Amino acid sequence: MLRGRRVGVVMPAHREEALIRRAIEAVPACVDAIWVIDDASPDRTSEEALAVGDPRVRLIRFETNRGVGAAIAAGYAAAFSAGMDVACVMAGDAQMDPRDLEPLVEPILTGEAGYVVGDRLAWPGAREAMPLSRFLGNHVLSALSRWVLGLSIGDSQCGYTALSREAASRIALDALWPRYGYPNDLLARARRAGVRIATRPVRPVYGEEKSGVRLYHALFVIPFVLLRALTSARLRAEMPATLPFLADDAEER
């Protein structure tokens, strides 16, 4: 716990048998529970996650691939249904530094924000730590997100985030964009719901992981998600969250 608040980690994973152990073992001791969401991996991702032997691990496995956004939404639902006050997203590829978790949660604990987004671009030495294509691409997409959403956010594509229970109750997480592009959709939903959003610098970590993000995501998917967010923001208000615990095709262990 952190300052009397229960903190859970949501860990989406697909084909992460080589790195999921490292990701789980790095989760700080202050975290109360870890939800690993195996998005129908054809490898041993689930088995490796359980083999760590960490009693905090709860495994949710999808029978069909639904996408990283859907995995995170299911993890949020499970975490808040289990009584967590804050849910942090740490990917199953060990690409998020555990030292940044407490600073990321801090604005929620102090009441400054309900949703906190990591900012890799603000970290000293980010240019040297990040592949050039990622560094430039994130700058472009973040600028586009700022323009569309009207938010002062440095790294809209960062998946290292913290969400409070209260903020989650105001966002239709079950309608979250299910695949790559979900960070932009979640930012838009939080913005429309009046959730206070903060950012904190986080370390860029690049190593053995193999990203599933492709050029067409940057050129087509993310702009489409932003356009949809802009249109829907004008046409309708955000609906209340239902936070379903699990989808029918998911099994928790």
Q: Out of 42-46, 99-103, 128-132, pick the least confident.
A: 128-132
The radius of gyration computed from the CA coordinates of the chain, to the nearest angstrom, equals 17
Q: What is the 3-state secondary structure (H, E, C) of 182-236?
A: HHHHHHHHHHHCCCCEEEEECCCCCCCCCCCCCHHHHHHHHHHHHHHHHHHHHHC
Q: Do residues 212 and 132 lie in contact, with contact meaning Cβ atoms separated by under 8 Å?
A: no
Query: So what's the pLDDT on residue 132?
Result: 85
Q: Which residues pair with residue 13 across a beta bridge?
A: 38
Q: Do residues 78 and 252 lie in contact, with contact meaning Cβ atoms separated by under 8 Å?
A: yes
Count of alpha carbons within 13 angstroms of residue 167, beta-carbon side:
29
Report residue 166 as tokens: 């209260």
Q: Do residues 204 and 120 lie in contact, with contact meaning Cβ atoms separated by under 8 Å?
A: yes
pLDDT per position as a tens digit, 208-241: 555 555 554 555 566 666 667 666 654 344 444 4
Q: Do residues 51 and 25 lie in contact, with contact meaning Cβ atoms separated by under 8 Å?
A: no
Query: So what's the pLDDT on residue 215?
Result: 56
CATH numbers and ranges of domains, the chain: 7-238 (3.90.550.10)
pLDDT per position as a tens digit, 154-178: 999 899 999 999 999 999 999 998 9
Give the mean model confidence (pLDDT) for residues 48-70.
97
- Give the angle 96-65-178 at the CA atoms, nearest 5°: 65
Give the mean model confidence (pLDDT) for residues 190-202.
95
